[in-house]
Amino acid sequence: MKRILIINGPNLNLLGTREKSIYGELSFEQYFKELKAKYPSLDLHYFQSNVEGVIIDKLHEVGFDFDGIVLNAGAYTHTSVAIADAIAAINTPVVEVHISNVHQRESFRHHSYLSKNCKGVILGFGLDSYRLGIASFL
C-alpha cells in the first residue's frame, strides 16, 4: 500500500473559514475524509503546521520512507529557502500544490522557492489540486 502524506503550511488550518471567496467553504478535515474514501487503496496521511521548522522536521521524518508528499506550503512557498533545501535533501518525491491560481494574484505570489525541487506543481483547481497531486503518485 502506497504511503502518501499531505502537508499543509501556515493558515491552511483555517480552510473553510479563511477568505472563502479564494479558498472555498470546506474545512480540510472534511475534504480529507472525502479523499480517504476516494482512495481506499492508499495509506493517506495529513499533517498541518503554521511553523516553518516543524514542516521541515516532518519532511525529514517521512521523506525517506513514504512514497509521496503533497505539499501546500502556503506563504512559505514564496519565502522559504529552508523548505526548498529540505525537499532537496529527502528521497520522497514532493508535489507542490496550491488551491488558488497564484499567477492571477499579487506578484509576490508568482515566485516559488520550492518548485525547482519538486516533482511537479499543481495550482488553481481549488481543493481538487490535492487530489490531482495524489493522482500523480498512483
Residue 14 binds ligand DQA, judged by CB under 6 A: no
Residue 138 binds ligand DQA, judged by CB under 6 A: no
**DSSP string for residues in 25-94:** S--HHHHHHHHHHH-TTSEEEEEE-S-HHHHHHHHHHHTTT-SEEEEE-GGGGGT-HHHHHHHHHSSS-E
Question: Would you give the DSSP letter of residue 137?
Answer: T
Give CA–CA dist 138/123, Å, rounded: 19
Residue 121 or 135 having the CB closest to ligand DQA: 121
Residue 48 or 72 having the CB closest to ligand DQA: 72
State the number of binding residues for ligand DQA (CB under 6 A).
10
Q: Which helix or strand (DSSP H or E) is residue 123 part of?
A: strand 120-123
Residue 35 binds ligand DQA, judged by CB under 6 A: no
Residue 75 binds ligand DQA, judged by CB under 6 A: yes
Residue 49, all three cell numbers: 503546521
Residues 83-122 that bind ligand DQA (CB under 6 A): 98-100, 102, 109
- Reply yes or no on whether 23 is catalytic: yes
- Reply yes or no on whether 31 is catalytic: no
The minimum distance between CB 72 and ligand DQA, in angstroms, equals: 5
| Residues identified as active-site | 23, 98
